Amino acid sequence: MATVAFKTLDQLQPAGKKVLLRADLNVPVNGGQITDATRLLRLLPTIQELAQKGARVIVVSHFDRPKGKRVPEMSLAPIADALGDALGRPMTFADDCIGPVAQAAVDAMQDGDVVVLENTRFHAGEEANDPDLAKSLASLADFYVNDAFSAAHRAHASTEGVARHLPSFAGRLMETELNALNIALENPERPVGAIIGGAKISTKLDLIGNLLEKVQVLIIGGAMANTFLAAQGVKVGRSLQEGEMHDTARAILAKAKEKGCEVILPVDAVTATEFKANVPTRVVGIDAIPDDAMILDVGPQTVRDLCAKIATLKTLVWNGPLGAFEIAPFDAGTNAVAQEVGRLTQEGRLKSIAGGGDTVSALRHAGVTKDISYISTAGGAFLEWLEGKTLPGIMALESVFERALPI
Ligand code: 3PG
Ligand code: MG
């Protein structure tokens, strides 16, 4: 997307002021336990900086998809507790994000205090970007800070509408995310490559189309590689693939050729007749996939080729695993390539930027999250950014003083 001029916390003097901080507290939860607290931890610098500078920090966020109703299991209360634990201070929680309950919590604040308000999506106006809800949220504060890059693809009241009513700033996490993405695609050191994996071409068409214009090397893995292979006449047995996407796949390959973008597909594969743990596997050349087998990972020759190619790159963007990494041994290809990316990054030879839900779990599984230059906290927003789309939450950060506003 086009670079947006936004203000950061460097331009905000928050002492004694009320700051509405849009966070993304939408963390994965399983059986009442937070399974990945990354989003909470990455938010801490912004909260700490604002609190230390004497702001009254009012944290708002959505959580899950309650669709405009109060759903008790989707309350932010337990997440607020976890945030308090991470911050090392008890967290005040208010049972509504607007109205008298929210106002009373805000009125009781002292400078340096932090409160968390209840799930914005308990109000239907959140997803509808209702101007009244945006105004009610804005009426709680003097300034708006958006630190929710991972929700910036949503034009909702707390991510977009509210910025029309308050001087608006990017938080430190938002700033870091935008800088990292800028280094990856807008202003990268070349050659730039991308690894795109995952199941379906149909969900990543725009993304591939945009990347062809920006990268010199496009590595395709995961089940989507099967569709490209099958479209070129390769027999992929019982592998997952999208038969109706063959024309599209061929058109993508033709466009890549025209743009001078090298597309790399697997040359061998790890196959099995069933997708489950400890099944017998066979490594075969891509032109020798048995009729009754499925491709479940890239093979060892592909891993060697990919590692050699990645060593020639200066910048790498990664979205999507190369194989069905959730079940061993089909994680081997993703692990090996991830470890090489981590090593090249640590040696200072590569800038590596990864994002998207599965990608982050795959990199964590490979044990390399610390070795990658930057891992985005975003899933859908990272994908939309890779698609070259304008993210409404970021556009809204252009200062109200610098643009004419449709209200
Ligand atoms: C995410 O987890 O991708 C963001 O928090 C946005 O959530 P949503 O997909 O429910 O809008
Ligand atoms: Mg999502």
Report pLDDT digits (tens) over 264-275.
Answer: 999 999 999 999
The confidence score (pLDDT) of residue 405 equals 42
pLDDT tops 50 at residue 407: no
Sheet holding 294-298, edge to edge: 282-285, 268-272, 294-298
> Given ligand 1 and candidates 22, 24, 25, 26, which is best to mutate, with the most ligand atoms within 8 Å of its CB?
26
Whether ligand 1 lies within 6 angstroms of the CB of 65 is answered as yes
> Is-contact 356 365, C-beta < 8 A?
no
The confidence score (pLDDT) of residue 390 equals 87
The confidence score (pLDDT) of residue 403 equals 44
Which ligand 1 atom is the nearest neighbour of the CA of 65?
A: 10
Q: Which residue has the tokens 């509408």?
A: 161
pLDDT tops 70 at residue 301: yes
Using alpha carbons only, give the angle 18, 23, 24 rounded to the nearest 5 degrees: 165
Whether ligand 1 lies within 6 angstroms of the CB of 380 is answered as yes
Q: Which ligand has an atom closest to residue 120 CA?
A: 1
**Predicted confidence band of residue 2 (pLDDT cuts 50, 70, 90):** low
Atom 2 of ligand 1, residue of closest alpha carbon: 26
| pLDDT tens-digit map of 133-162 | 999 999 999 999 999 999 999 999 999 999
Taking the C-alpha atoms of residue 113 and residue 17, their distance in angstroms, rounded to an integer, is 11
Q: What is the pTM of this model?
A: 0.91
What is the end-to-end Cα distance of the chain in Å, rounded? 23
Q: Of 16 and 6, which is predicted with more confidence?
A: 16
DSSP string, 155-200: --TTTTGGGGTS-EEE-HHHHHHHHHHIIIIISPPSSEEEEE-SS-
Q: Which positions ≥6 away from 265 have C-beta within 8 Å?
A: 220, 225, 228, 229, 286
The confidence score (pLDDT) of residue 108 equals 98
Which ligand 1 atom is the nearest neighbour of the CA of 26?
A: 5
In the annotation, is 233 catalytic? no
- Span 372-391, average pLDDT: 93
| pLDDT tens-digit map of 232-266 | 999 999 999 999 999 999 999 999 999 999 999 99
Q: Which ligand has an atom closest to residue 158 CA?
A: 1
What does the DSSP 8-state code read for residue 120? G
In the annotation, is 380 catalytic? yes
Taking the C-alpha atoms of residue 190 and residue 62, their distance in angstroms, rounded to an integer, is 38
Strand-pair category, 56-60 with 143-146: unpaired
Using alpha carbons only, give the angle 284, 290, 293 rounded to the nearest 5 degrees: 95
Q: Which ligand has an atom closest to residue 63 CA?
A: 1
Atom 6 of ligand 1, residue of closest alpha carbon: 151
| pLDDT tens-digit map of 103-131 | 999 999 999 999 999 999 999 999 999 99
Burial of 402 (0-12, 13-18, 19+ CB in 10 A): exposed
Out of 17, 70, 89, 200, pick the active-site residue. Answer: 200
Whether ligand 1 lies within 6 angstroms of the CB of 151 is answered as yes
Which ligand 1 atom is the nearest neighbour of the CA of 148?
A: 5
Please tell me the least confidently modeled range out of 196-200, 372-376, 402-406: 402-406
Give residue 377 CA to ligand 1 midpoint distance, Å.
11
pLDDT tops 80 at residue 400: no
The confidence score (pLDDT) of residue 320 equals 94
pLDDT tops 90 at residue 22: yes
Q: Which ligand has an atom closest to residue 65 CA?
A: 1
Atom 4 of ligand 1, residue of closest alpha carbon: 151
Give residue 393 CA to ligand 2 midpoint distance, Å.
15
| pLDDT tens-digit map of 74-100 | 999 999 999 999 999 988 999 999 999
In the annotation, is 357 catalytic? yes
Give residue 36 CA to ligand 2 midpoint distance, Å.
15
80: left (phi over 0), alpha (psi -120 to 50) or beta: alpha
pLDDT tops 70 at residue 295: yes
Summary mean pLDDT of the chain: 94
Out of 22, 39, 42, 172, pick the active-site residue. Answer: 39
The confidence score (pLDDT) of residue 399 equals 60
Taking the C-alpha atoms of residue 55 and residue 379, their distance in angstroms, rounded to an integer, is 30
Whether ligand 1 lies within 6 angstroms of the CB of 26 is answered as yes
Whether ligand 1 lies within 6 angstroms of the CB of 23 is answered as no
Whether ligand 1 lies within 6 angstroms of the CB of 379 is answered as yes
- Span 60-87, average pLDDT: 97
Instruction: Quickly list H helices, 232-356.
Output: 246-259, 300-310, 332-346
38-52 vs 77-87: helix crossing angle, rounded to 10? 60
The confidence score (pLDDT) of residue 406 equals 40
**How big, in percent rounded to 5, are the helix, strand and coil portions of the chain?**
40, 15, 45
**Predicted confidence band of residue 369 (pLDDT cuts 50, 70, 90):** very high
> Given ligand 1 and candidates 36, 64, 127, 150, which is best to mutate, with the most ligand atoms within 8 Å of its CB?
150
- CB atoms under 10 Å from CB of 397, counted, come to 24
pLDDT tops 80 at residue 397: yes
